[in-house]
Chain A
Amino acid sequence: MQPLRIALAQIAPRLGLLDDNIARHHALIDEARRGGAGLVVFPELGLTGYLLQDLAAEVAMRLDDPRLLRLAAAATGLSAIVSFVEESADHRLFISVALLEEGRVRHVQRKLFLPTYGLFDERRCFAAGDLLRAAPSSLGVGIGLSICEDFWHLGVPQLLALDGAQILVNVSSSPGRDLAALNEVGLGTATSWRTLLRTYAQLTTSFVIFVNRVGVDESISFWGGSEVIAPNGDTLFSAPLYDEGLYFVDADLGDVRRERIALPLLRDERLELTVRELDRIVSERAGQATDPTAEEGAEAGLDVAAR
């Protein structure tokens, strides 16, 4: 299999300036193509900026928006992954990521998990997606798209890999916080992410591509540190923290097959077991089945007995 050259667009989108960001995407898609990339990946909400609040509705695009279609039309000779605010026909707003290939929008994944705690307030502005699907791609392998917080839920990388993804892509606008001294990269957020990415790559025996933005929206700074991790958990590339840039990485997609033959974790996955136990837990939580692990005397659906 030909090595795939991946371009990581670690950019600083301008908040609310859709036209400026679109122009920047066009320029970088060109630059990636000229650099020989087969895939270029932009960060979460790279077309709009992150901390939108009431601006979200003002920068939203429908999937037939001419500006999005023109961007898709530019994606010829390579695949591009871009993220924006999607407005559905019934006027719900989603944080979405799209795979653009062969001049069209090939696949759209809506953000499933909207953090609304701590410094996050996404549920206030956005609707959560309901579907998770791996997608075929012109690269000859399945691609699984996810957005930032989605990767803080174990099921997401696993489902994508089981659904046929060999490359897991996570696009992020991760705010840096928890400045730490005794830490490999000096930033708590970065350390947590680096742990997740390596773990997922190894457990799903897939490539993991992480593209995180840089720049500042209001109080928060985004830390970059985009990475490509090989299916055995090895780090292929780590972009610098905070530096804007288009970073090129070569990946041998043959590594997926080699790793999955040597370490057949996906083959050995017990889907029926997982489904059965999940069904049980859902029924118990809904009070529709007896919970054998609940305290004695607990009412249906409650783990703990009233005192």
Chain B
Amino acid sequence: MSPVGEPRSVPRTVPDGAGLFDLPPELAIDTDVARRVIAEFIRGQLRQAGFERAVVGLSGGIDSALVAYLVADAIGPERLLCLKMPYRTSAASSESDAQAVVERLGCQSALVEISPMVDAYFGVTGTGVAGAAGPEGLTASAVRRGNVMARIRMTVLYDHSVTWGGLVVGTSNKTESLIGYTTLFGDSASALNPIGDLYKSQVRQLAAAVGVPEAIIRKAPSADLWPGQTDEAEAGFTYPELDRLLFWLVDRRRSPEELEAKGFSRERIEWAMHAVAGSEFKRQVAPIAKLGPRTAGVDYLYPRRRPGSART
């Protein structure tokens, strides 16, 4: 007789990492089940694609740290390559926090400075030396610069995908994906994403459960594009607040009136609904004009992993 898998008789009431961060009760997840599902997901995706290894871009932030832990847990640290890709204005703590993850996991890592690549395009402000973008590139906005940095990191990751022989694992969470706080073909590009259905608050809960260093869990989330930048200052929201709003709006299908009755302000509800609708294009594959009898994504519908699809 095989052992009986009895359900736990006492439900978990104290979430992991209590005290480290604010976790709205409706967002709390069973982290044991989440780890199990995600590990199977990572192994299944790799196997079906014919890969045994993975590449993760480590920023020093919580999302990529969590993904590195989850991948190491699923396939072993020896099959994981973590890439640190700082720009010269990146916070020094970002690299040291990323290094702490690498050391704790005992995985392979590499450092690729992206400054020469970014500067070759935009030029170097202050020196007046223009880059490939021409003189106008010297005054490019922070958003343009941030997008190019994200896409250069993507380029480096996919190049290492070939040399390391591993799939690129995405690190975008559900909150930033829903509000479109991502760079299309940049940080949102990946072969698989294990945390894309977890809100930031849930990322924190899971990170605490898997043992991501506390310093990484505690620090303010940031795209690290300029000194002192933080996500929450830019959005004008705290993550627990935004996560709750998105959860009730998207997952629980509440109307704006119902959300207001729950205590969310009309202004924030409108902001969130606009952000979600306005970033729909970032979450979907680009549409193809329908002309032939069978069109990919329209009426030619196959699982992406199917017989014959694995790398041989």
Interface positions of A (Cβ within 8 A of B): 15-17, 51-55, 176, 179-187, 194, 214-219, 221, 225, 237-243, 245-250
Instruction: Look across to chain B and name the residue whose beta carbon is closest to the beta carbon of A185.
Output: B7
Nearest residue (CB) in A for B27 is A181
B305 touching A218, Cβ below 8 Å: yes
A-B contact pairs, 28 of them (CB 8 A): A15-B303, A15-B305, A16-B303, A17-B307, A52-B303, A54-B301, A55-B307, A181-B28, A181-B30, A182-B28, A183-B11, A184-B9, A185-B8, A185-B33, A186-B8, A186-B12, A186-B33, A187-B30, A216-B40, A218-B304, A219-B41, A221-B37, A221-B40, A237-B4, A238-B5, A239-B5, A243-B5, A249-B1
Return chain A residues, CB-CB under 8 Å to B37. Answer: 176, 179, 221, 242
Say whether, besides A242-B36, A248-B2, A184 and B8 are in contact (CB < 8 Å): yes
Give Cα distance in the complex from A112 to B16, angstroms. Answer: 43
Q: Is B306 an interface residue (CB 8 A)?
A: yes
> Hey, what's the 0/1 contact readout for B1-43 against A, CB within 8 Å counting as 1?
1111111110111010000000000001110111011001100
Interface residues of B (CB under 8 A from A): 1-9, 11-13, 15, 28-30, 32-34, 36-37, 40-41, 44-45, 48, 300-307
The reply to whether B5 and A182 contact each other, CB–CB distance below 8 Å, is no
Residues in chain B near residue A248, CB distance under 8 A: 1-2
Query: Within 8 Å CB of A218, what residues of B?
Result: 303-305
A27–B188 CA distance with the chains assembled, in angstroms: 43
A214 to B36, CA, bound (A): 12
The chain A residue sitting closest to B251, CB to CB, is A178
Report the bound CA distance from A51 to B33 in whole Å: 22
> CB distance B12 to A181 under 8 Å?
yes
Contact A245 B300 (CB under 8 A): no
A215 contacts across to B, CB distance below 8 A: 40, 44
Q: How far is the CB of B12 from chain A (nearest CB, A)?
A: 6
List the A side residues contacting B29 at CB < 8 Å.
179-181, 186
* Candidate in A54, A194, A245 with the most chain B CB atoms within 10 angstroms: A54
Residues on the B chain within 8 Å of A245, using CB: 2
Which of A17, A184, A249 has the largest count of B CB atoms less than 10 A from its CB? A184
Find the A residue at minimum CB distance from B304: A218
A53, A179, A182, A250: the one within 8 Å of B11 (CB):
A182
Contact of B303 among A176, A194, A217, A237 (CB under 8 A): A217
Please determine whether A238 and B30 come into contact, CB atoms closer than 8 angstroms: no
The distance in angstroms between the C-alpha atoms of A237 and B7, with both chains bound, is 11
For the complex formed, measure the closest distance between the CB of A227 and the CB atoms of chain B, giving whole angstroms: 10
Residues in chain A near residue B15, CB distance under 8 A: 181
Q: Which of A52, A55, A179, A238 counts the most B-chain CB atoms under 10 A from its CB?
A: A179
Measured CB to CB, the closest approach of chain A to B73, in angstroms, equals 14
Contacts of B3 in A (CB 8 A): 240
- Of the candidates B30, B48, B300, B303, the one having the most CB atoms from chain A within 10 angstroms of its own CB is B303
Once the chains are docked, how many angstroms separate the CA of A186 from the CA of B11? Answer: 8
**With contacts A184-B7, A216-B40 known, is A54 near B2, CB below 8 A?**
no
The 7 closest A-B pairs by CB, nearest first: A186-B30, A240-B5, A216-B44, A181-B28, A186-B33, A53-B301, A179-B29
Cα of A54 to Cα of B32 in the assembled complex, Å: 35
CA–CA, A221 to B45, complex, Å?
11
Shortest CB-to-CB span from A195 to chain B, Å, is 12
Interchain CB contact under 8 A, B302 and A53: yes
A52 contact set on B, CB distance < 8 A: 303
Question: Within the complex, what minimum Cβ distance (angstroms) separates B31 from chain A?
Answer: 8
Across the two chains, which residue of chain B brings its CB closest to A181? B28
Contact A247 B2 (CB under 8 A): yes
Q: Kindly list chain A residues whose C-beta atoms are within 8 Å of the C-beta of B32.
A: 186
- In whole angstroms, how far apart are the Cα atoms of A248 and B32 in the complex? 26
A53 to B2, CA, bound (A): 35
CB pair B30 A180 closer than 8 Å:
yes
Query: Which B residues touch A51, using CB under 8 A?
Result: 303
User: What's the least CB distance linking B34 to chain A, in Å?
Assistant: 6
The reply to whether B41 and A179 form a contact with Cβ atoms under 8 Å apart is no
Selected from A17, A181, A216, A238, the residue in CB contact (under 8 A) with B41 is A216
User: Of all chain B residues, which has the CB nearest A18?
Assistant: B307
- Write out the residue numbers on chain A whose beta carbons fall within 8 Å of the beta carbon of B2: 239, 245-248
